[in-house]
Structure 1
């Protein structure tokens, strides 16, 4: 009956339409967003579970590594303790030997036998090696007693020699190497502690095999795997999601499915892509992306149509991949359930409203209108509106239900609004981060521009020409040096092709270099330009520059001026060559002087004994003696060149010496040659042998005379020089204070050949054999022996100039030193004892006879060591005649110093055909030096020279 009422029908239709609209609005406005949020929450739960397991596995890996380190440290300490015990045992044996309880041989045998049999732990042992690398104690019969040369047939040989060397250098230490187990063949990693035992001249050590430690670590690893397996079994994602772990070789380590757990699943294929599911999981590891694929269900096996998602994290320590796996429909199930419940609630509400309409039709229009008004307010967004109906009947229930529904709707909307606000806040924070990143990029650009400016300044300041070309040989960059080389601005060069800038001729010359560089090869080439006297040598380096695909996309050219370097190399090469020639000449002169001593002594003996009344024999002996003297002069010049002549250096008044030399030369040079001398005030003087310096100046003057057959002028000048810029003479001059002596002539000068060979012995430009070729070589040898430098120059007009640079000392050092000279001249040496020390038997025989002829009693010795044994037995020793160069640990100078200490009254005469400055001792002023070759008259004069007591400077 109520349905017949128009008001009821209208009211019913109106209410149904309004409520349907409300529920539709609520559903389409709220449910999709709620479903999306619930879906994301479920996905995040999967990610959180994966991250938790990853963190736990990382911590377990850290614990294992710490356990490995602690185990190794403990074993190292154990090795130290074992070696210390062995060392204590050896110390006990040494003490027993010291007390006489054991012989050294018995102690050694007992020590090595004990070390061979000592073992501990997992059949670990102690080994011992002597300093020559022989294993004197080793439990393995293959190696025990093997020397280093026999041990070299094994791969372990370098380890023993290395540990022996390290022990001798640092005393003790650890060393990792490979060695086989006792009676085993396989080489295993091993760490040994070794220690030097100098009292026994051995190195002892003991080691541990690392695979023993790894067994302990493997137990920990298996324990970790079991712990993770137990932990993963209790973790569930959604309804049936799970976590699993596999290694880099796609071996499944942990998986809830027993058919897959413990297998290699590389062959399992993703039905969507038909590719290996393992490969796809590895590719998405740590990317933050999820792998989508289809799989079967436990309740529907073999039907690979169910969509799944997997997240993957890679753990480098274990080389593991930890993965989560969940069905997509399970992630959506919560949101679907929420939507279904909302629909159910709506349907129930509509049903209740329909039932209540009939009650409303019975005249309760006001509550209905109030409820309708409330519903209208709610539909307009006023979710705080209440119906205000409080009844205990159906209308009240409907009102309360409606109010509850609106309240739930309000809560849902408020929850949605809060999530939207959180998302808005996150977006705002991201915007701030973007702004900060943008500012950082701007700052980086500014800094980059500063770096580019600094690089440009550096490249412009480099002492090299730098340019960069593209593959078509177009300039992309040049530095300031290259622009100045061409006389152009850099802006005028960049962007142009190489041809119009350097010219076609030069480009054709360089084109082979560019072609090789474009092929990927770095090319270095030297270019010589200029004419004689102004040659310029440049080093061009062409470097190919590659792009990311290893294709050459440009050429970098570096051009360096190496003219000075080449000149220095040439001078050094000449200096080395001269030094080698000098060493050879010195050795020849030394041996030749011994021969000349024998020849000259025997010729004089023959002349004195047999030619007194035999004039024909005397006529034969006199030219032989002169020839021997001439040979002695030649060897003296060779010794001067080779820097092995005996020198007596002192501070020289250079002005007085040159004036005396000029006076000497006036009587020896032709009248058409003028001699000049100019000097500045010298505050430092050379410390050289004045006699040898005078000989050098005379040689230079006579060489200048030969270069001026028509006459001319020879000019001497001296000056102090402070060197700090390393100028180039015959070699680079060391910084310091020097005196420079310059000898200039107006002659023909030196030829190019003569400039390069002037200091070589026996080189001469004189024809007809008139020159020995030893003049300039003698000067060169004397200057180098005096730690000086020499340089020859040709004047631009004519003539030559020779510069001598000698180390200088202050003038104050020239003050005369008081000398206590007294003469001890003996007219007769009859019965006086002389010790003759000479290793050459022929020279010893000759000098012995000369001493006997002078009246001496002679005892001879062949070495300094033999003389040292004889001297304590000769308390009446009057004198000693000794060669400087003797075999053994002592030379003649050291023997003389030893004799002076033990018998200061003895006369000491040293004979030498070599330079005492190249021996281990310094010549004492009380020692007389007699140069080979000499005769009996020279020897007698040596005995007649007074003993000098002049302190060395």
Structure 2
């Protein structure tokens, strides 16, 4: 028997005494304290939950404020972007004005109307105001074009003048004021970004209504409340306690009871005090005191005898009251349950302890043996071995600790294996993604070691050598690169191996086209500072170089055109004097024997010079044009008969035209004929032994997606409707130098013949007609010249004016006012007018002509140069003469042709281009 042992008996009695004493101590000393402590814990738990919910709501508030600021800053940046877009649009229009493509009035009207129809966001818009507070552009018909100086804000201060003043003073400014939405009468708070554009004398602004941002914030608040409601529904205090939120007006925002959620409970009374529950909750908010009241229970409805506690906190930013509610008996129930369980456990432990005490002696050695056996298994490598000791004494602690250590050791080994495997897979996936990214980069990448052997190449690098990238890894650059490329690279590679970064350009031919690349070699150093690898980067610069070349070519052609136009202007004045005097000398001294032999060639040469100046004017895009809708197919058919007679018989001429819509271009017919004849004669000179000359015409519609297919023209082709004329010959073709200089005036490859103005005249005509030109040619393979001209539809009702007849008209007794600053030119014109019977009064500039005008009562006509010194040019002089003498005829003359179709807001007058003959002047005055 176990109790027969004295040691067992003593130990057993000692255990009984200790266990009983311990049980009594727990009951009389710990249970009351535990009850109070658990009750306090439950109360603190309720307070903690309340504080957590309060902090959550506070974060929502701060998040909303941050979102409000972020949204405002984002919209400010959007306003800057929109105004910047409007400024860029204005820049483009005024650049067209500077280029002579638009007048300033056209540009302003297009700007105002274009921006007026542009809206974005929540019907937001762009507006333009002058410095005088006139709304030049506004989508609201109530304000567009009106003077807004008297529109006042809520404080009585004028709105638009204040906004304009701030923008002009600061250059740009954000201004807040009140303004109506489109089609709404009531003004709202608005924030506008306004920028001054002093070069055009106006400000551009765009704004946002602050209630749009507030609406976004409220929408975000509603979403946050949905999430908060869901969170509060998950919170339980004790058994049935809950959280709720209401606002300062006693509107219940969130409540788990559907009967109370969303209602106004200001009328709900406390059955104890008779006061409003909402007011009492507000009164105790943030005081730290619990508000106690009587309420019913779901299982005891209508019986308001159950005591309840509430804690309330006030969130000022959102004006929320956040409260917790829990029954008193539920708070106490936890401590009672805990006390009962402690006593039950104590009783069970007492019984078990007595039983354990009986078995202790016999069992004390058994666990030790099992623990030793388990230790031997573990040392032998069996990590699944467990002692199984689970007693509550030191041996049990030792056994569990030992088993736990073995278990953790086994788990750690398995976890380490798993982590190694996961990490390996992650590294493989990361490497795969990095290789994919490197393959898709718009650059050629390669890494070579110090032995110049490839360790890595991306797909674009391998494509350069037209082989798989896997086949390059492990090879040296000498094995991969062509000899010429390798010899060029090696000096840079050696510099990089010395630790210096290198950058250079390299060009090569790839699939029949030249590719220009910029290459960069970057050394990679080891921990000792030695170069262990070289990273090579290569970027395709072909498109950038081509764009740079075209820009340079366009700038050069523009400069040459300005020079050519200026030369033509001065030369026309000289030719007017020369031809005029030669013609007068030929007429006056016709009886002098042999004089005509000298004068006739001189006159012919002078007129040849005038033709050259006309070609220069055409190249410089200053040739006056009279565009109309021309049936190009019919025009070429009519021209073929003339060309057949002008070209050798060994040149075959062909013509092809698309079927379908009419082949109509909006150009000057005579200039188009001259351009086609020039191209045909150039083709004839390129085919001295004969060949084929072919004209092709077709309609072409260019859209945004077609721009790449229409590359190669002198400028990027804008989307639109065009007529394409192709002139193809089988002659000698152009070399690269000739292609680069083909459109330059006076450049020719014809040795000893030709003025070099044929192609330059064609170029100028095409550009002045708002078209494009391209030459496709190689030496010995002929040439193809493509013209893109703007297409228009034919007006069947258009009528061609008939020439006027001069029979029976004379200048006798008619007075002419002549304004010309060049004395020699003026003398020639005076002589021509006097020979035609006119009386002439001379003026050296526009100011002098106006002074003479009042003294000329019987003025028949004004003949004036367009460009004159002083403040009044020919156009302004003509306008003033037309106002004072409406019956007087106006004839303008110039050596630098002006296109009156570009005049806006002014009258159009008859114009003669210098040099002109006496009969042309007489026809202009009497016709």
TM-score by length of 2: 0.51
Is this contact kept in 2: 1:824–1:944, CA < 8 A? no
Q: Which residue does 1:517 correspond to in 2?
A: 496
Q: Which residue does 2:742 correspond to in 1?
A: 758
Distance 1:865 1:440 in 2: 96
Q: Indicate the SS of the match to 2:171.
A: helix
Residue number among 796, 799, 813 corresponding to 1:815 in the alignment: 796
Distance 2:582 2:873 in 1: 29
Q: Indicate the SS of the match to 1:829.
A: coil
Is this contact kept in 1: 2:448–2:455, CA < 8 A? yes
Distance 1:836 1:491 in 2: 85
Instruction: Give, in angstroms, the shift of residue 544 of structure 1.
Output: 3.3
Q: Which residue does 1:806 correspond to in 2?
A: 789
Is this contact kept in 2: 1:568–1:728, CA < 8 A? no
Instruction: Give, in angstroms, the shift of residue 625 of structure 1.
Output: 1.6
Distance 2:901 2:886 in 1: 22
Deviates most, 530-539 or 666-675: 530-539
Distance 1:546 1:742 in 2: 60
Instruction: Rate the CA distance shift 1:560–1:927 in 2: closer, same or farther, 3 A.
Output: same
Instruction: Rate the CA distance shift 1:858–1:455 in 2: closer, same or farther, 3 A.
Output: farther
Instruction: Give, in angstroms, the shift of residue 900 of structure 1.
Output: 4.9
Residue number among 758, 762, 769 corresponding to 1:779 in the alignment: 762
Is this contact kept in 1: 2:816–2:860, CA < 8 A? yes
Q: Which residue does 1:457 correspond to in 2?
A: 436
Q: Which residue does 2:664 correspond to in 1?
A: 685
Instruction: Rate the CA distance shift 1:481–1:705 in 2: closer, same or farther, 3 A.
Output: same
Instruction: Give, in angstroms, the shift of residue 697 of structure 1.
Output: 0.8
Q: Which residue does 1:668 correspond to in 2?
A: 646
Residue number among 741, 744, 747 corresponding to 2:731 in the alignment: 747
Is this contact kept in 2: 1:590–1:914, CA < 8 A? yes
1:839-872 Cα offsets, whole Å, 9 max, x none, are 3232233323333333334344444455566657
Distance 1:816 1:502 in 2: 70
Q: Which residue does 1:793 correspond to in 2?
A: 776
Q: Which residue does 2:505 correspond to in 1?
A: 526
Instruction: Rate the CA distance shift 1:924–1:720 in 2: closer, same or farther, 3 A.
Output: farther
Residue number among 865, 884, 893 corresponding to 2:866 in the alignment: 884
Is this contact kept in 2: 1:641–1:778, CA < 8 A? yes
Distance 2:532 2:526 in 1: 6
Is this contact kept in 2: 1:883–1:892, CA < 8 A? yes
Distance 1:548 1:918 in 2: 76
Q: Which residue does 2:811 correspond to in 1?
A: 829
Q: Indicate the SS of the match to 1:615.
A: coil
Instruction: Give, in angstroms, the shift of residue 804 of structure 1.
Output: 1.7
Q: Which residue does 2:694 correspond to in 1?
A: 715
Q: Which residue does 1:736 correspond to in 2?
A: 720
Distance 1:531 1:172 in 2: 54
Q: Which residue does 1:915 correspond to in 2?
A: 897
1:130-181 Cα offsets, whole Å, 9 max, x none, are xxxxxxxxxxxxxxxxxxxxxxxxxxxxxxxxxx9995636999xxxxxxxx
Instruction: Give, in angstroms, the shift of residue 571 of structure 1.
Output: 4.1
Is this contact kept in 2: 1:527–1:540, CA < 8 A? yes
| 1:602 and 2:604 matched | no
| 1:169 and 2:171 matched | yes
Residue number among 612, 616, 619 corresponding to 1:634 in the alignment: 612
Distance 1:449 1:904 in 2: 91
Distance 1:735 1:506 in 2: 42
Aligned pairs (5 A) from 1:405-484: 453-484=432-463
Instruction: Rate the CA distance shift 1:648–1:543 in 2: closer, same or farther, 3 A.
Output: farther
Is this contact kept in 1: 2:732–2:780, CA < 8 A? no
Instruction: Give, in angstroms, the shift of residue 450 of structure 1.
Output: 6.3
Q: Indicate the SS of the match to 1:643.
A: coil
Distance 1:455 1:525 in 2: 27
Instruction: Give, in angstroms, the shift of residue 684 of structure 1.
Output: 5.9
Distance 2:662 2:425 in 1: 60
1:674-697 Cα offsets, whole Å, 9 max, x none, are 322111134563221110110111
Instruction: Rate the CA distance shift 1:871–1:636 in 2: closer, same or farther, 3 A.
Output: same
Instruction: Give, in angstroms, the shift of residue 478 of structure 1.
Output: 1.5
Q: Indicate the SS of the match to 1:582.
A: helix
Q: Which residue does 1:933 correspond to in 2?
A: 915
Is this contact kept in 2: 1:166–1:172, CA < 8 A? no
Distance 1:701 1:925 in 2: 39
Distance 1:172 1:808 in 2: 46
Distance 1:501 1:567 in 2: 29
Instruction: Give, in angstroms, the shift of residue 443 of structure 1.
Output: 10
Q: Which residue does 2:214 correspond to in 1?
A: none
1:502-541 Cα offsets, whole Å, 9 max, x none, are 3777544322212223444432223333499754433322
Distance 1:637 1:821 in 2: 27
Instruction: Rate the CA distance shift 1:672–1:755 in 2: closer, same or farther, 3 A.
Output: same
Distance 2:742 2:635 in 1: 25
Distance 1:855 1:534 in 2: 69
Instruction: Give, in angstroms, the shift of residue 560 of structure 1.
Output: 3.4
Q: Indicate the SS of the match to 2:624.
A: coil
Q: Which residue does 1:79 correspond to in 2?
A: none
Q: Which residue does 2:9 correspond to in 1?
A: none
Instruction: Rate the CA distance shift 1:819–1:626 in 2: closer, same or farther, 3 A.
Output: closer
Runs of 5+ in structure 2 lacking a partner? 1-165, 176-195, 199-356, 361-413
- The count of residues paired between Structure 1 and Structure 2 equals 551
Is this contact kept in 1: 2:632–2:663, CA < 8 A? no
Is this contact kept in 1: 2:504–2:520, CA < 8 A? yes
Distance 1:448 1:829 in 2: 100
Distance 1:454 1:886 in 2: 72
Distance 2:529 2:483 in 1: 30
Distance 1:931 1:498 in 2: 69
Aligned pairs (5 A) from 1:187-586: 453-502=432-481, 506-530=485-509, 534-545=513-524, 553-586=532-565
1:578-598 Cα offsets, whole Å, 9 max, x none, are 332222222111101001111
Q: Indicate the SS of the match to 1:762.
A: coil
| 1:588 and 2:567 matched | yes
Indicate the structure (1 or 2) with the bigger Cα radius of gyration: 1
Is this contact kept in 2: 1:526–1:537, CA < 8 A? yes
1:29-74 Cα offsets, whole Å, 9 max, x none, are xxxxxxxxxxxxxxxxxxxxxxxxxxxxxxxxxxxxxxxxxxxxxx
Q: Indicate the SS of the match to 1:702.
A: helix
Instruction: Rate the CA distance shift 1:170–1:504 in 2: closer, same or farther, 3 A.
Output: closer
Is this contact kept in 2: 1:524–1:542, CA < 8 A? yes
| 1:657 and 2:635 matched | yes
TM-score by length of 1: 0.49
Q: Indicate the SS of the match to 2:791.
A: strand
1:163-203 Cα offsets, whole Å, 9 max, x none, are x9995636999xxxxxxxxxxxxxxxxxxxxxx9x9xxxxx
Q: Indicate the SS of the match to 1:631.
A: helix
1:267-324 Cα offsets, whole Å, 9 max, x none, are xxxxxxxxxxxxxxxxxxxxxxxxxxxxxxxxxxxxxxxxxxxxxxxxxxxxxxxxxx
Instruction: Give, in angstroms, the shift of residue 658 of structure 1.
Output: 0.9
Distance 2:420 2:814 in 1: 101
Q: Which residue does 2:78 correspond to in 1?
A: none
Instruction: Rate the CA distance shift 1:921–1:532 in 2: closer, same or farther, 3 A.
Output: same
Is this contact kept in 2: 1:530–1:536, CA < 8 A? yes
Instruction: Rate the CA distance shift 1:455–1:787 in 2: closer, same or farther, 3 A.
Output: farther
Q: Which residue does 1:309 correspond to in 2?
A: none
Aligned pairs (5 A) from 1:44-55: none
Q: Which residue does 1:852 correspond to in 2?
A: 834
Distance 1:822 1:579 in 2: 37
Runs of 5+ in structure 1 lacking a partner? 1-163, 174-195, 199-376, 381-434, 946-953
1:409-456 Cα offsets, whole Å, 9 max, x none, are xxxxxxxxxxxxxxxxxxxxxxxxxx9999999999988876654443
Q: Indicate the SS of the match to 1:542.
A: strand
Deviates most, 837-846 or 548-557: 548-557
Is this contact kept in 1: 2:897–2:913, CA < 8 A? no
Instruction: Give, in angstroms, the shift of residue 820 of structure 1.
Output: 7.0
Q: Indicate the SS of the match to 2:639.
A: helix
